Structure 1
Amino acid sequence: MISDLQSEFQGLPVTEFPSDPDPAASTPPQGPVAWRISVPTHEAPVAWPEAFDTFRAAVDPSTVQAIVVGSWADPYDEGSGPVVEALVAAAGEFPALRSLFLGDMTAEDCEISWIVQSDITALLTAFPRLEHLGVRGGNQLMLNPVRHENLRSLVIETGGLSADVVRAVAASELPALTDLELWLGTEEYGADSTVEDLAPILAGVNFPRLTGLALSNSEYQDDIAAAVAAAPIVPQLRALDLSKGVLLDAGAEALLAGQSLTHLESLDLHHNYLSDDMRERLRAALEPSGVQLNLDGEDAEEDEYDGTIYRSVAVGE
C-alpha cells in the first residue's frame, strides 16, 4: 500500500502546482523543482489536461526539469490516456524536461492496482532527452519495445504487471539505462509473467550500463532468485533488489549457491519468508565483504487456512 506522496523526485523537491493558482498570492520556488500537477480523484473541478494547460500558462515550460503527474479525475475508471496525450502534444515546449513520473497517488487517492493506465510508449518517443521515467499502476498499462538513447532509469510500480509489458521492457534498447525497477505483483491483479520473460533482462544485452536492478514484489521470487544466481548481468551490478516478494529459503539457497554476490554494494531482500538460519547464512556470506544487506521481514506474515499456508507480496491491491 502506498501511503505517502513523493516529496523528492530525482534529487529535486516536489512542489505542488495549485489547481487554482493566484498569481498575486503565489511565491515562485527558489531553484529547480519537480512540479507535481494533480486534480482531485473525486469530483475534480477540471480535467488533468486543463490543469496542465494552466500550468503551462503560469510557468515557463522551457525551464521545467521534472514533472510528477499526480491523480487525474476518476483514475479507477478513466485511464491516463488523456494525460499522456496532453504531455506528448506539448513535448516541444519542454526542452529541459529530464524526469517524469506518471501516477503519484496514495491508496487514499486510488489503490495502486486500481489505477487505470494506458499506452506510455509515446512518452519515450516524444521526449528523446528524457532520463528518468516512473510509472505507478499496471492496470491496462501498455508499452511497445523502443530504443531510447538517454533514458537512465525506468521504474514501474504495480500490484500486477502484465507479461506483455515485461517483454516490451526486455526487448527495448536502452543503452544509457543504469537503473531498472519492476514491481511484478500478483496474479490476482493481472500479473501473468514468468521468469522466462525476464531472461533478456538478465542476459544484459540491451542494457550494457545497468548497475541497479530490482525485480521485486513477485509471487515467483524464488524462481527469480534462482535465475539471478546464474545471470550474465549480475557481475556488472552494484545494487540488486529482490524484495517485497514471496522469497523462501529455496530462493536464498540458490543465491548462496550461485555466482558470487560479494561485489554488490547492496542486496535488498526485505519482506521475505526466510528462516532465522537462512538469514544468518546470508549475513555470514555477504556482510563481511561490505554488502549492505536488507533482510527485514517483519511485515511478511503467513496465513493458514484449512491446512494451507498463504504468503503474499508486499504490494498487491
Structure 2
Amino acid sequence: MTISDHLQEWYGLPAFDFPDAEAQAASKAALPAPESVAWRISVDSYDSEEEWHEAFARFAAAVDTTQVRALIVGSWSEAYDSSPDDVIEALTGAKDRLPRLRGLFLGDITFEECEISWINQGEVTGLLDAFGDLEEFGVRGGQELGFSAVKHERLRSLVVETGGLDAGVVRGIAASDLPALENLDLWLGTSWYGANADLSDLEPFLSGTRLPRLRYLALRNSEIQDEIAVAVAGAPVVARLEILDLSMGTLGDDGAEALLNGQPLTHLKKLDLHHHFMSETMVQRLSDALVPAGVELDVSQSEARGSGGREDRYTAVAE
C-alpha cells in the first residue's frame, strides 16, 4: 500500500486546498470562513515556482489567520531532498497570528509527490513549543525526523506516520510529558527504511505509568508485530484502553495466540488487526472470543495466502 490520497479532514474539519498563486489570481470565488476548514498549504514537489513559506505568506495575507483552527502542511519544494526547516520557521514565526490553532499536520504528501520513506523531516518539537494550545499534531515521514522530549499540557492526539521510525523518536515521545494525550498512533515501519526501535523502547507506553489519559494506542505498520502483540498481551496500559491498534504489520498466529491467552480484551471498543498474516482458524478464534462481547474486530486484508513464512511478510506501508 502506498499513500495515494491527501488527508480529507483534520481536527474534525474538512480539508481545503489553499489555491496556488495563479489560481488565486484568477479565481473570483470567495474562500471559506477561516475557522470552517483545515487549510492545506502546498507547493509543487518538483520545480516549484514558489517556496512553501511564500505560499504561506499569501495565505496569511488572504485569510484572517486569527480565526484559523487547523492547518495541514502539504508538500514543500523537493521534500525528497529538503527538510521542512523553512516551513517550521514560518509557522513558529507566525504563532502570534494563529492564536486559535488547535490542529496541525506536517507532511501530507502522497507517493506521487514523494514516497513516505523519502520525505525529509527534521526536529518537530519546536512546533509544540510554539503552539501551547495545540490539541492534535501529526507528522509524516521518518527520514531525519527528530522528536526531543517535550512538555505539552493540551495535546490530545499525536500521529507519527513512517515507513521506518528511528528509536530516538520513540524514546523522545516516551520521555515527553503529555498529560492530556488520549490518542497515540505510531507507524514503526521496517529496518530497511530505518526502523530500529525494540520492545524496551515501547515499554514506557505499555507500562501504564505514563500518559494517564491514553485511550487509543496504535503500535502498527511494524515488522516486529508479533513481538509487540506478545508484549501488549500482558501490558498494564491495555486495561484502560478503548481502542488497541496493531494493524498494518506482520502479525501472524503467534502474536494472535498471545493476545488470546493474555489479559482480557473484551472491554475494548475496537481491536484493529487489519493487514495481517493470521490463518483463517486464528481469525475465527479471535472472532469467537471478542465479537460476542461487543468488541469491533477488524481482521480485514488478510495477506496470509501465499505467504511461505515470516520472511515473506511485509508491512502495509514501507517505501
**TM-score, scaled relative to structure 2:** 0.96
Q: 36, 42, 49: which one pairs with 1:38?
A: 42
* Percent of aligned positions that are identical: 53
Name whichever of 17-26 and 269-278 sits farther off.
17-26
Q: 207, 212, 217: which one pairs with 1:213?
A: 217
| Structure-2 separation of matches of 1:61 and 1:204 | 39
Contact residue 301 and residue 311 of structure 1 kept, 8 A: no
Q: Which residue of 1 aligns with 2:20?
A: 19
Matched, 1:2 2:6: no
1:35-90: CA deviations, max 9, x gaps? 00000001100110111111111111100000000000000000111111111111
Name whichever of 291-300 and 199-208 sits farther off.
291-300
| Structure-2 separation of matches of 1:298 and 1:227 | 22
| Structure-1 separation of matches of 2:230 and 2:310 | 24
Q: In the TM superposition, what are the counterparts of 1:123-142 in structure 2 within 5 Å?
A: 123-142=127-146
Q: Which residue of 2 aligns with 1:313?
A: 315
| Structure-2 separation of matches of 1:81 and 1:308 | 39
Matched residue type, 2:11? Q
The Cα shift of 1:302 comes to 5.1
| Structure-1 separation of matches of 2:131 and 2:158 | 14
Secondary structure, counterpart of 1:55 in structure 2: helix
Matched residue type, 1:87? L
Matched residue type, 2:31? P
Contact residue 220 and residue 246 of structure 1 kept, 8 A: yes
Contact residue 302 and residue 309 of structure 1 kept, 8 A: no
CA RMSD of aligned residues (A): 1.5
Matched, 1:103 2:85: no
Contact residue 185 and residue 219 of structure 2 kept, 8 A: yes
1:100-148: CA deviations, max 9, x gaps? 0000011111110010001001001000000000101001100100110
Task: Mark the CA change 1:171 to 1:314 in structure 2 (over 3 Å): closer, same or farther.
Answer: same
Q: Which residue of 2 aligns with 1:182?
A: 186
Q: Which residue of 2 aligns with 1:118?
A: 122
Q: 224, 230, 235: which one pairs with 2:228?
A: 224
**TM-score, scaled relative to structure 1:** 0.96
The Cα shift of 1:9 comes to 1.2
| Structure-2 separation of matches of 1:125 and 1:308 | 42
| Structure-2 separation of matches of 1:51 and 1:203 | 44
Q: Which residue of 2 aligns with 1:82?
A: 86
The Cα shift of 1:297 comes to 2.9
| Structure-2 separation of matches of 1:197 and 1:147 | 19
5+ long unaligned stretches in structure 1: none
Q: 22, 28, 32: which one pairs with 2:31?
A: 28
5+ long unaligned stretches in structure 2: none
The Cα shift of 1:248 comes to 1.1
Aligned length: 315
Q: 149, 152, 155: which one pairs with 1:148?
A: 152
Task: Mark the CA change 1:17 to 1:280 in structure 2 (over 3 Å): closer, same or farther.
Answer: same
The Cα shift of 1:308 comes to 8.4
Q: Which residue of 1 aligns with 2:161?
A: 157
| Structure-2 separation of matches of 1:229 and 1:308 | 20
